[in-house]
Structures are given as C-alpha cells and as structure tokens.
C-alpha cells in the first residue's frame, strides 16, 4: 500500500462461479483512473471483451467508489455501478448507474475501494462483507422477496450498522428495466438484472475502519467549511424560489424552497424551515424539500424530515407520512425518495380527478414508490411511463395484446387516474407476466423492436423525450441548446450529467450567469437564455467538455454530480462565484497526491476517453459520428414553425449542429470525420495500449 490517503487501498474481487474472493491493490492497478466509473471502465476494458452479453458470467459488475467516499467532503455518498447495459439497444454497451445512501462510505470503512463481481453462482446467494471478512451466503430464503424484506433479513444478520444493496423480483427475473437499491430507497437504475443473472440477490457491507486524510487536520476542516459555504440547495440552485429579505434574487423554479413559515407538518414536533440564508451552513439541510418541489405544496403537511447520503447536507430525499394510503391501498404510510422516485407512480397517468397536484397524485406517488422500490422496477428516467401512456392512448396496447390479456387490466381505473391500477401493472412488469408485462420490462429499444414500432418515429415526438439507443434525453437541447445536445450524444444510456443544467437552472439572472460563464468557459456566449438560443460558439463546446469531465470526475471521486459542480454559489459578496477548484483541493488534501485543477481534469478526461474507447470497441466501428452520436428528429422541430434561433423556439439548426460537433470533437482531440479519438489523444493520456488494441481491429481514425 502506498502512502496515499483517501483510498482504502484494496479492490475486492469475487468470482461467484468458484466462490473465490481476493483483493488487488487499488493504487497499483487503478490510481490513474481514480475510482468509481474510472475503475469500472478500466475493469471492463481489461477483462470484458467485445461481444460479451450482459447476462454472460464473463460480464463484470463493478461497485466502485472514490478517494473522497467516506471522508468529510460534502456530497460524497455516490457509488458507481458499471457493467454492460441490458437496455442499451440494439447492442448492449458499457454504462454506469449511481446510487447514493451509505453504501460508498461503508465499503471504504470495510477497507475496499470497489467490488468487482464476475461469474455466476449456482444458486441464489448474497455477499457479506464485514470488514476484511468476505462470505458468500445462501439467499434462497430471500430470493423472490421484495427489496425491503431482503434488506431487513440481511440487516438482522449483519447488524443495524450494516448497509444493504439488494435487487427485487424484477432483477431476479432478468427484467432489463430493473434496479439495485441500497438502504431501501437509493437506487441505481438498469443493473438489477445483471445481478440477477449472477444469482446475486444482495450485498451487505459492514465497515468499522476509517479513511486517512493525508493533509493536516486543520487544513481539511477549513476546506470542508469553505466548501459548505459555497453550497446552495438541491442541484446547487443558489437562489431561493421566493422573495426573501436576505436574497437579492429569487426564481420560482429553483429547488431552494425553504422559507419562514414552511413547515414539516408530519414531524414529531413543529419544524419551521426558517430562511436558511447562505451563511447559515448548519441549516443547509432545510433548504430543499423535494417532495414539495415534485409533488406539490400539499407535501409540506406530510413531510416528516429530509434524508440523504453520507456527509451530504443537502437532504434530497424527503420522508413522507401519508396515513390515508395504508387504509386505501394497504401500503406503509411512510415512504421516502427524491425526484424521479416521487414521480414514478403518478407519471403513468394522464390526469387525476382532483388535479395534477391533488391528494390522488400524492397517493399515486406513494403507491409508485412503494411498489417500484420493493419490486425493483426501473423507469429509465420516466421513459417507461411515457412509453406506456403513448402505447395505451395510441391504441397499440389493445392491438398488440390478446383480448383476454387486455381485458385483464382495469383500463377504466387507469383512465380515471386511480393509483390502484399500479398494483395491476408493476408486479406484472417485475414478473414478466403476459406480453405487456414482459415488453415493458425490456426497455424502449427492445420494446419497439419486438412490437415492430419505429425508433425513428419515437424520436420525432418531442413530448416522448426519447433520445437514442433505448434511452431518453437527460437535460438536452431543449433546455441547454447545443451544450445539452452534445452531452446527450456521448453515453450509452441517458446522460445523467448535471454539470451544465445545475449551472443553467441555478436561479441567477442571465447577465450574471454570462459573467460567470465567461470566467469559466472563456466567453459569455457559452450560455443562452432559455428558448433564446444562439448559433454555436466555441465556448459552448468548452462548456460541454467541462460538464462531461466534471461528471466523470465526480463519478470517480464519489462526489455527487446531482449536487455539483460548485462554480456558482449563493454568496453575494463573492459575486455569486463558486470555486472551480473545489474538487482538486479536496482530492489533494485527502490523498496527498499533488494535483491541481488542470491535472485532475486530465484524469477526468482519461476516464471519459476510456468510455469512448469501450463504446467504439463494443460497437465494432470507429464511425461514431454517424452510428453513435445520433440525434433524434425532435431536436430539429418546433411547434411554433419558426426558424431556429428565434425567441420562443427551442429547436436547433441542422447545419449548426454539425458545427457544434466539429468544435466539440476538436476540443477533445477527436477526429472530426469519425468522432473517434486520435492516436495522439490516446498517447497524451498515457493510453497507447488502448490505441493499439483499437488499431488492431481497424477502430482508429486514419
């Protein structure tokens, strides 16, 4: 083991086929890729050849965290789970899911930076990691059980301080649209069935160790306080959503929804969020109530408290108590989640009798959370719900199902917005029951293929939000112009990048955003007003590149890219500047590895480059510009009929997008004709071996 702090120092390897486990030295094997997705991509590159299928025993599933996990760095609770993605269409390729909670920290305290799982157990098992003790246990008693039951059963064995990541029946049944969930509500989408294919029900981790910080204690504490001072609310929104005496600005759409008089109505005692002004760093946890943000103001009265991940003051999960659902639906009155978790149930329905934010919508949220988080069904950033709604209202479901199966669903309940309908639908998806249950669990691409529907047509419907390769857009061109488009082209699932959107939605007025953008990306043209997009500019390519590299850095350090980066802050005296070097400052002090911002960004670029190489190798073509970086038709259309770059139009210009691609590839040192990285670029990042392997298969640009 080296003298570095931050890292636990070992990567745990487990072969479920043989029952053998062993360790590798993290620094020797993986330091150049930090951790998290970096370790994940490196393992996939080294050990999983092209042509491997997601459910092959040879596929790896890598639970990896970074050198900041388990330290006191704010927002360090993310675990990256990397594997071959079963919903990636038409060919499974590498991708990552990300779960919060306490798993990342516990894994580090147990002494590991990652768990690499290969092979396939001969019967259902769960993996127990109790510090250095690693055991594979029989899971037949919990196989077939929901995630909550499995989690409880393992916690009873390992103790209350253990953390459990488990799959539900959906993952066991090899439903591609399935998740793994830690601490019963922190999900990583898309990978449940890969665990299921290995007969791995769950991983329980108990860690009693600690993480060494290389720097001086006082310097570390000072840095943590500084970072905390830069934090805004959820998604680093830096102004409140209502006018408040301390605030110079407000924006009704930010997630800073605390204010004097806002109360957690279901807490044991009266809790008023208060104003939570920027300097009140001990009250950051009160700034956001994500249930109220997503479900509506009536969620305040049902709020018990916030919840979230290790060392994160932004409590992006909200615990709700809705006693009515117990009597009405027979489910627990208390549930917790965030964002898409809250929207899961209600997004299946077009309308509710008492409006979009009434009690029925709230009940649909509770039912959806209860079922999806127990069955382990993934929604693919709500593409499942959008697909379902379109298929039903277009009459496709009726046409494709036999009348017996079609009539087995209570469609009148569905049309009336009755949450009870979810009890008919979701268990059948998890159980692959019937044609509809099976097809919805495939993921959009494979679903369209099975039912003979056109992916191109799917990509024309802007409201469907479908992007490509079986997955939807994730903060793309409609809200972030060319920058959002470029980011969304890069991955093999929805992009999950928040670097750009957290800045664009931070609530600061556009002139201030432009001022900060000029400092960070070289020109104010990097950002446009919403629906007032301007032609491509070099600074937009820089912003897109920066956004992607920060995402990969965060995913590899275990920082949360849903909360960061922190380049804007709520602090007026700083001109609302954040600090673009916070990641490198944390990394340097924690590990003792003397890297500044530029050097650490290069590591992020190396990680991103390896993802691109994996994609090229997996697809067997270097022609990425044509075959991978594909743009759905809705990007170029607008209901207004106006030409692009007029106010109120959100579509882009076809020629301008080609300019955007040129500039973006140039910024990354990639070949403009193919969109593939050049040999020189691989060399620059010490990846000659990767280049050579690709060249051997004619996968390098000429």
**Other Cβ atoms closer than 10 A to 150:** 28
Is 461 one of the binding residues for another protein (CB under 8 A)? no
Q: Which of 134, 116, 121 is nearest to 18 (CA)?
A: 121
Question: Segment contacting another protein (CB under 8 A): 201-209, 470-478, 663-671, 688-696?
Answer: 470-478
Nearer to another protein, 391 or 649 (CB): 649
CB of 520 to another protein, least distance (A): 21
Nearer to another protein, 510 or 619 (CB): 510
Q: Find out whether 666 and 673 touch, Cβ atoms under 8 Å.
A: no
Phi then psi for residue 336, to 5 deg, are -140, 150
**Other Cβ atoms closer than 10 A to 13:** 18
CB of 532 to another protein, least distance (A): 7
Is 389 one of the binding residues for another protein (CB under 8 A)? no
Is 149 one of the binding residues for another protein (CB under 8 A)? no
Residue from 251, 373, 455, 579 in contact with another protein (CB under 8 A): 251
Is 339 one of the binding residues for another protein (CB under 8 A)? yes
Binding to another protein by CB under 8 A, coded x per residue (else -) over 77-116, reads ----------------------------------------
Is 647 one of the binding residues for another protein (CB under 8 A)? yes
Binding to another protein by CB under 8 A, coded x per residue (else -) over 420-459, reads ----------------------------------------
Q: Which three-class secondary structure string do you get for 675-690?
A: CCECHHHHHHCCCHHH
Nearer to another protein, 248 or 280 (CB): 248
Strand-pair partners of 203: 127, 165
Tell me the H-state helices in 238-353. Answer: 290-295, 324-329, 339-346
Distance CA 654, CA 166 (A): 45
Strand-pair partners of 179: 189
Distance CA 664, CA 677 (A): 12
DSSP 494: -
Nearer to another protein, 43 or 340 (CB): 340
Is 291 one of the binding residues for another protein (CB under 8 A)? no
Residue from 224, 228, 420, 510 in contact with another protein (CB under 8 A): 510
Is 243 one of the binding residues for another protein (CB under 8 A)? yes
Residue from 123, 245, 598, 702 in contact with another protein (CB under 8 A): 245
Is 532 one of the binding residues for another protein (CB under 8 A)? yes
**Other Cβ atoms closer than 10 A to 256:** 27
Is 478 one of the binding residues for another protein (CB under 8 A)? yes
**Other Cβ atoms closer than 10 A to 491:** 26
Is 643 one of the binding residues for another protein (CB under 8 A)? no
Question: Segment contacting another protein (CB under 8 A): 47-55, 194-202, 255-263, 625-633?
Answer: 255-263
CA angle 322, 162, 136 (to 5 degrees): 120
648-651 contact pairs (CB < 8 A, 24+): 648/531, 649/531, 649/533, 650/477, 650/478, 650/479, 650/531, 650/533, 651/477
Is 187 one of the binding residues for another protein (CB under 8 A)? no
Please list every residue from 581 through 640 that binds another protein, using CB under 8 A.
Answer: 640
CB of 560 to another protein, least distance (A): 15
Q: Count the site residues for another protein by CB under 8 A.
A: 39
Is 130 one of the binding residues for another protein (CB under 8 A)? no
CB of 100 to another protein, least distance (A): 15
Is 650 one of the binding residues for another protein (CB under 8 A)? yes
Q: DSSP states of 618-663 as a string?
A: HHT-S-HHHHTS---GGGG--TT-PPTTSTT-----HHHHHHHHHH
Residue from 58, 405, 479, 656 in contact with another protein (CB under 8 A): 479
Distance CA 174, CA 197 (A): 6
Q: Which of 349, 335, 334 is nearest to 414 (CA)?
A: 349
CA atoms within 13 A on the CB side of 183: 24
268-272 contact pairs (CB < 8 A, 24+): 271/305
Q: Find out whether 60 and 44 touch, Cβ atoms under 8 Å.
A: yes
**Other Cβ atoms closer than 10 A to 473:** 25
Is 362 one of the binding residues for another protein (CB under 8 A)? no
CA angle 263, 266, 270 (to 5 degrees): 50
Run of H or E including 466: strand 466-468
Nearer to another protein, 510 or 595 (CB): 510
Residue from 117, 343, 364, 490 in contact with another protein (CB under 8 A): 343
CB of 487 to another protein, least distance (A): 13
Nearer to another protein, 16 or 364 (CB): 364
Residue from 529, 535, 592, 669 in contact with another protein (CB under 8 A): 529
Distance CA 178, CA 223 (A): 39
CB of 665 to another protein, least distance (A): 26
Is 244 one of the binding residues for another protein (CB under 8 A)? yes
Distance CA 658, CA 672 (A): 10
Is 573 one of the binding residues for another protein (CB under 8 A)? no
Is 531 one of the binding residues for another protein (CB under 8 A)? yes
SS3 84: strand
Residue from 340, 483, 536, 676 in contact with another protein (CB under 8 A): 340
SS3 550: helix
Question: Segment contacting another protein (CB under 8 A): 91-99, 157-165, 518-526, 647-655?
Answer: 647-655
CB of 253 to another protein, least distance (A): 6
Is 276 one of the binding residues for another protein (CB under 8 A)? no
Question: Segment contacting another protein (CB under 8 A): 27-35, 241-249, 370-378, 430-438?
Answer: 241-249
CB of 564 to another protein, least distance (A): 17
CB of 264 to another protein, least distance (A): 17
Distance CA 393, CA 386 (A): 11
Is 509 one of the binding residues for another protein (CB under 8 A)? yes
Is 649 one of the binding residues for another protein (CB under 8 A)? yes
Interacting residue ranges for another protein, rule: CB under 8 A: 242-249, 251-253, 259-261, 294, 339-340, 343, 356, 382, 465, 473-475, 478-479, 509-510, 529-532, 640, 642, 646-650
């Amino acid at each position: 083991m080296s003298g570095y702090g931050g890292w636990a120092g070992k990567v745990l390897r487990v072969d479920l086929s043989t029952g053998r486990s062993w360790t590798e030295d993290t620094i020797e094997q993986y330091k150049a890729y930090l951790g998290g997705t970096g370790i994940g991509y490196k393992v996939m590159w080294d050990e999983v050849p092209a042509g491997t299928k997601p459910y092959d025993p040879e596929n790896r599933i890598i639970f990896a965290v970074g050198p900041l996990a388990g330290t006191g760095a704010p927002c360090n609770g993310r675990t990256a789970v990397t594997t071959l993605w079963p919903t990636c269409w038409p060919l499974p390729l590498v991708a990552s899911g990300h779960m919060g909670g306490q798993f990342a920290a516990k894994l580090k305290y147990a002494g590991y930076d990652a768990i690499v799982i290969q092979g396939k157990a001969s019967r259902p098992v769960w993996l127990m990691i109790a510090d250095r003790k690693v055991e594979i246990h029989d899971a037949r008693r919990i196989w077939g059980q929901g995630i909550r039951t499995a989690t409880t059963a393992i916690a009873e064995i390992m103790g209350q301080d253990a953390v459990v990541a488990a799959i539900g029946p959906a993952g066991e049944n090899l439903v591609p649209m399935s998740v793994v969930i830690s601490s019963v509500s922190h999900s990583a989408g898309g990978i449940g069935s890969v665990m299921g294919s290995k007969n791995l029900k769950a991983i329980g981790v108990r860690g009693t160790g600690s993480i060494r910080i290389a720097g001086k204690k006082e310097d570390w504490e000072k840095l943590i306080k500084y970072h905390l001072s830069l934090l805004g609310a959820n998604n680093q929104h830096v102004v409140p959503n209502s006018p408040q005496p301390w605030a110079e600005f407000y924006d009704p759409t930010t997630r800073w929804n605390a204010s004097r008089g806002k109360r957690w109505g279901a807490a044991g005692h009266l809790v008023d969020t208060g104003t939570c002004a920027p300097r009140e760093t001990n009250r950051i946890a009160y700034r956001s109530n994500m249930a109220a943000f997503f479900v509506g103001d009536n969620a305040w009265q049902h709020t018990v408290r916030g919840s979230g991940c290790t060392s994160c003051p932004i409590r992006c999960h909200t615990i709700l108590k809705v006693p009515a659902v117990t009597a009405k639906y027979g489910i627990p009155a208390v549930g917790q989640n965030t964002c898409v978790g809250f929207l899961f149930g209600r997004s299946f329905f077009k309308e509710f009798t008492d409006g979009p934010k009434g009690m029925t919508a709230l009940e649909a949220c509770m039912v959806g959370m209860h079922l999806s988080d127990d069955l382990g069904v993934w929604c693919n950033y709500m593409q499942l719900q959008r697909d379902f709604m379109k298929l039903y209202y277009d009459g496709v479901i009726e046409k494709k199902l036999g009348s017996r199966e079609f009539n087995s669903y209570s469609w009148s309940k569905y049309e009336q917005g009755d949450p009870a309908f979810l009890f008919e639908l979701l268990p059948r998806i998890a159980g692959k029951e019937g044609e509809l249950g099976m097809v919805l669990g495939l993921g959009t691409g494979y679903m369209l293929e099975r039912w003979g529907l056109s992916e191109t047509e799917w990509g024309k419907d802007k409201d469907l939000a479908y992007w490509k390769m079986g997955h939807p857009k994730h903060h793309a061109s409609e809200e972030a112009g060319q920058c959002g488009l470029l980011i969304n082209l890069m991955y093999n699932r929805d992009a999950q990048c928040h670097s750009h959107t957290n800045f664009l939605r931070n609530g600061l007025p556009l002139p201030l955003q432009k001022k900060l953008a000029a400092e960070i990306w070289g020109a104010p043209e990097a950002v446009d007003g919403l629906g007032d997009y301007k032609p491509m500019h070099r600074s937009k390519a820089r912003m897109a590149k920066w956004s992607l590299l920060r995402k990969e850095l965060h995913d590899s350090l275990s920082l949360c890219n849903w909360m960061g980066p922190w380049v804007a802050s709520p602090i007026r005296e700083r001109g609302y500047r954040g600090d673009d070097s916070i990641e490198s400052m944390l990394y340097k002090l924690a590990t003792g590895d003397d890297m500044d911002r530029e050097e650490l960004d290069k590591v992020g670029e190396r990680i991103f480059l390896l993802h691109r190489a994996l994609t090229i190798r997996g697809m067997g073509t270097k022609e990425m510009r044509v075959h991978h970086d594909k743009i759905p038709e809705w990007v170029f259309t607008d209901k207004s009929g106006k030409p692009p770059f007029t106010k109120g139009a959100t579509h882009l210009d076809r020629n301008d997008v080609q300019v955007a691609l040129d500039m973006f590839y140039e910024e990354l040192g990639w070949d403009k004709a193919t969109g593939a990285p050049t040999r020189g670029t691989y060399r620059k990042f010490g990846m000659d071996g990767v280049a050579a392997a690709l060249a051997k298969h004619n996968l390098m640009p000429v």
